[in-house]
Amino acid sequence: MIDFHTHTLLSDGALLPSELVRRAYAIGYKGIGLADHADVSNIDFLIPRIVKAAKVLTSSKIKVVPGIELTHVPPKDLRDLVTYARANGIKLILVHGETIVEPVIPGTNAEALECDIDILAHPGLITLKDARTAAKRGIYLEITAKNGHSLTNGHVARVAAQAKAKLVINTDSHNPGDLITKDKAARILMGCGLSAGQIKATFVNSLSLLASL
pLDDT in tens, 157-194: 999 999 999 999 999 999 999 999 999 999 999 999 99
Distance CA 213, CA 200 (A): 21
pLDDT value at position 103? 98
The secondary element (H helix, E strand) that includes residue 198 is helix 196-212
Listed by start position, the domains of the chain span 2-212
| Residue 127: pLDDT band with limits 50, 70, 90 | very high
Encode 7-62 in three state secondary structure: CCCCCCCCCCHHHHHHHHHHCCCCEEEEEEEECCCCHHHHHHHHHHHHHHHCCCCC
Q: Which residues pair with 66 in a beta bridge?
A: 34
Mean pLDDT on 59-80: 98
| Residue 133: pLDDT band with limits 50, 70, 90 | very high
Mean pLDDT on 82-92: 98
What are 93-112's pLDDT values in tens digits? 999 999 999 999 999 999 99
Mean pLDDT on 21-30: 98
pLDDT value at position 174? 98
Q: Residue 144, exposed/middle/buried by CB under 10 A (0-12, 13-18, 19+)?
A: buried
pTM of structure:
0.98
What are 193-213's pLDDT values in tens digits? 999 999 999 999 999 999 999
Distance CA 66, CA 200 (A): 25
pLDDT value at position 196? 98
What are 37-53's pLDDT values in tens digits? 999 999 999 999 999 99
Q: Mean pLDDT score of the chain, rounded to an integer?
A: 98
pLDDT value at position 17? 98
Q: Which residues pair with 84 in a beta bridge?
A: none
Q: Which fold has domain 2-212?
A: TIM Barrel (3.20.20)
Distance CA 28, CA 117 (A): 27
pLDDT value at position 36? 98
What are 138-156's pLDDT values in tens digits? 999 999 999 999 999 999 9
